[in-house]
Amino acid sequence: MTRRSEQLSEALHEYVVAHSSPPDQLLLDLAQETLRLFGADAGMQIGPEQGTFMRLLAQVTGARRALEVGTFTGYSAICVARGLGTDGRLLCCDVSEEFTTVARTYWQRAGLADRIELRLAPAAQTLAALPADTSFDFAFIDADKAGYVTYWDLIVPLMRPGGVLLADNTLSHGKVIDQAEQSASVEGIRRFNEHAAADSRVELVLLPIGDGLTMARKH
Ligand SMILES: C[S@@+](CC[C@H](N)C(=O)[O-])C[C@H]1O[C@@H](n2cnc3c(N)ncnc32)[C@H](O)[C@@H]1O
């Protein structure tokens, strides 16, 4: 029998967060302001331990050029940009002026504004318009779930060999295995999970971090 990862109880999740490097005051302020401004939508933000994991991953892989699809109020972008180091650059894609106005404020406060470029347009449009010689070391997909397969197909060719691609919410709160669940977003994630797992250009693992985080490395 193999050991299995567990879905964390609230108490165990608190323990995980308490025994990981904590978010700094700026990230705590951003999480609080996002909740104040956007209420339940604040649940779209990645959790603190996922943010720390992504920063460390960007750091240990030596990533310099990064891409984010789905930026919201900028929390994950700050984590990734901090992991890239001072000469790193992060390209962010989102469609919401309202959400990303908050992101811009916090990037400024974090001293990251000159390292992050935001393009406000449907991400598929932004990605398709990138110059042919564009190359990324690190990418994070966290936008509309129905678009994940499209984003994957546009991004994988742009990843350098050895580059790391992450996709968020790939367990859909466990609904991926509930056959009665047929919402567009869960169907989108199921399609994505099948599509990515069958892609011989990458090696990947679906990690039970947050709501499921797929991590792929391009061959
Ligand atoms: C789950 S949130 C991103 C959360 C963010 N990564 C964080 O940790 O705070 C999803 C974001 O995707 C954006 N979005 C939705 N459809 C999009 C599209 N077609 N292209 C680009 N962004 C899109 C939404 O405006 C929203 O800000």
Q: What is the DSSP string of 143-178?
A: S-GGGHHHHHHHHGGGEEEEEEEEEE-TTGGGGGG-
Residues of the chain with pLDDT under 50: none
- The reported pLDDT for the residue numbered 45 is 97
If you take atom 18 of ligand 1, which residue's CA is the nearest one?
A: 122
Do the domain assignments include residue 61?
A: yes
Residue 209: the pLDDT is 93
Distance, CA 100 to ligand 1 centroid (Å)? 9
Residue 3 domain-assigned (yes or no): no
Atom of ligand 1 nearest to the CA of 122: 20
CA atoms within 13 A of residue 179's CA, in its CB half-sphere: 0
Rounded to the nearest 5 degrees, what angle is found at the Cα of 141, between the Cα atoms of 123 and 28?
110
Q: What is the residue-averaged pLDDT of the chain?
A: 96
* Residue 211 in domain: yes
CATH code of the domain in which 174 resides: 3.40.50.150
The answer to whether position 127 is within a domain reads yes
Nearest CA to ligand 1 atom 9: 45
CA–CA dist 67, 39 (Å, integer): 27
Residue 2 lies inside a defined structural domain of this protein: no
* Ligand 1: centre distance to CA 74 (Å): 10
Domain-embedded: residue 4 = no
Check residue 119 and give its pLDDT.
98
Of ligand 1's listed atoms, the one at least distance from the Cα of 75 is 9
Residue 68 alpha carbon, nearest atom of ligand 1 = 6
Ligand 1: centre distance to CA 10 (Å): 25
Number of domains in the chain: 1
Looking at residue 21, its amino acid is: S
For the residues of 53-84, what is the DSSP string, one character each? Answer: HHHHHHHHTT--EEEEE--TTSHHHHHHHHHH
Joined tokens for residue 93: 């894609």
Strands 159-168 and 213-218: antiparallel
Q: For a substitution probing ligand 1, which of 44, 168, 189 has the most ligand atoms within 8 Å of its CB? A: 44
d(CA 105, CA 185): 30
pLDDT at residue 125, as a whole number: 98
CA distances from 165 to 19, 127, 169 (A): 26, 15, 14
Relative to the CA of 96, which ligand 1 atom is closest?
Answer: 25
Per-residue pLDDT tens for 103-137? 999 999 999 999 999 999 999 999 999 999 999 99
Q: What is the CA radius of gyration of the chain?
A: 17
Report pLDDT for 3: 77
**1 is a domain residue:** no
Q: How far is the CA of 198 from the centre of ligand 1 (A)?
A: 25
pLDDT of residue 8: 85
* 82 assigned to some structural domain: yes
CB-based pocket (< 6 A), ligand 1: 44-46, 70-73, 75-76, 93-96, 99, 122-123, 142-144, 147
Q: How far is CA 41 from CA 12, 78, 99, 155, in A?
A: 24, 19, 10, 26
Give Cβ neighbours of residue 50 (< 8 Å, ≥ 6 apart).
Answer: 76, 168, 209, 210, 213
**For residue 110, what are the domain limits?**
10-218
pLDDT at site 1: 57
